[in-house]
Amino acid sequence: MDFGVFILAVLVIAFVLSRFVTERIRVKNHSMEHTLDDGDSVLIEKLSYRFGEPERYDIIVFRQKGTGEELVKRIIGLPSETVQIKNGRFYINDEEIDDIEGLDPPEDAGIAASPVKLSVGEYFVVGDNRKESIDSRYEEVGTVTSTRIAGRVYLRLLPISKLRFFFRK
């Protein structure tokens, strides 16, 4: 095989993988602490959401409306559900749901102090650092539409000492 053809094939494969299959993202704030830290490098996979829907507790990367900044948060509310936070607990359709073990409860319910009805293709997301996360509880983030979701975090790559896979619950 000609070396030029080989290099072209490698570049095409790398482009396809990075565009449609996986992408490396750097965590840029403290909103997911206890799970991910500021500066961590994570890999997201993009295929599962092309063939299926995001699930509750998935850690996702999405684009912030207005700025396009990439944010990392955890899905709590799914399309067509009603989300509310009462006394530091999450309620979906008036039923309390289990939270991720070991995380602080949300002290500030924000807009979810009242029921938030999600439309089709809309998700309610929160950071694992519930005290410092700016997430769907606040107007500047709001609910996240499926078109803004870049993918699901499946691996913390760096720092290598904290290498970890994230499997669905």
Summarize pLDDT for 71-109 with one digit per residue, the tens: 999 999 999 999 999 999 999 999 999 888 888 889 899
Q: What is the pLDDT of residue 19?
A: 64
Q: What is the pLDDT of residue 18?
A: 62
Q: Is 51's pLDDT higher than 80?
A: yes
d(CA 142, CA 77): 12
Of 46, 73, 133, 136, which one is the catalytic site residue?
73
For the chain, the first-to-last Cα distance in angstroms comes to 46
Long-range contacts of 17-20 (CB under 8 A, 24+ apart): 20/46, 20/47, 20/50
Q: Is 10's pLDDT higher than 90?
A: no
Which has more confidence, 15 or 95? 95
Indicate the pTM of the whole model: 0.86
d(CA 27, CA 32): 9
Determine whether 136 is an active site residue.
no
CATH code, 3-165:
2.10.109.10
Determine whether 146 is an active site residue.
no
Of 31, 46, 133, 136, which one is the catalytic site residue?
31
